[in-house]
């Protein structure tokens, strides 16, 4: 029985991932693999005010992956950024 989740990137998140330094990208790849097994990993946190948007820290907690858990066992990657920029520009959930 297969339980894996399908992980896909929004176009901007894919560009962010490609720009990462090799060591950061390697660790991000590992986190993404783990998300494909379980998007509710230890350390993942639901973003305040959202019902389906999570974040997980990686690379010495200096980076964040912001992702959505969607229907159909999908994980949609919204952001792969340094902590300081990870939440800039996220839409207010009351406006969605």
Contact 27, 58 (CB under 8 A): yes
In tens, the pLDDT along 43-87 reads: 999 999 899 999 999 999 999 999 999 999 999 999 999 999 999
Q: Name the band, by pLDDT with cuts 50, 70 and 90, for residue 96.
A: very low
In tens, the pLDDT along 78-95 reads: 999 999 999 998 876 655
Q: Dig out the tokens for 21 from the structure.
A: 């330094």
* pLDDT exceeds 50 at position 1: no
On whether the pTM is more than 0.85, the answer is yes
Task: Dump strand ranges (E) for the chain.
Answer: 6-9, 45-46, 53-58, 63-70, 74-82
pLDDT at 90: 87
| CATH class held by domain 6-83 | alpha beta
- Looking at the DSSP bridge assignments, the partners of residue 82 are 63
């Amino acid at each position: 029985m297969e339980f894996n989740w399908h992980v896909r990137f929004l176009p901007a998140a894919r560009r962010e991932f490609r720009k990462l330094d090799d060591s950061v990208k390697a660790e991000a790849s590992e986190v993404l693999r783990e998300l494909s097994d379980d998007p509710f990993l230890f350390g993942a946190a639901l973003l305040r005010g959202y019902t389906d948007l999570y974040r997980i820290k990686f690379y010495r907690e200096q980076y964040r992956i912001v992702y959505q858990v969607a229907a159909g066992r999908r994980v949609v990657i919204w952001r792969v950024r340094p902590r300081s920029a990870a939440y800039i520009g996220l839409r207010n959930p009351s406006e969605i």
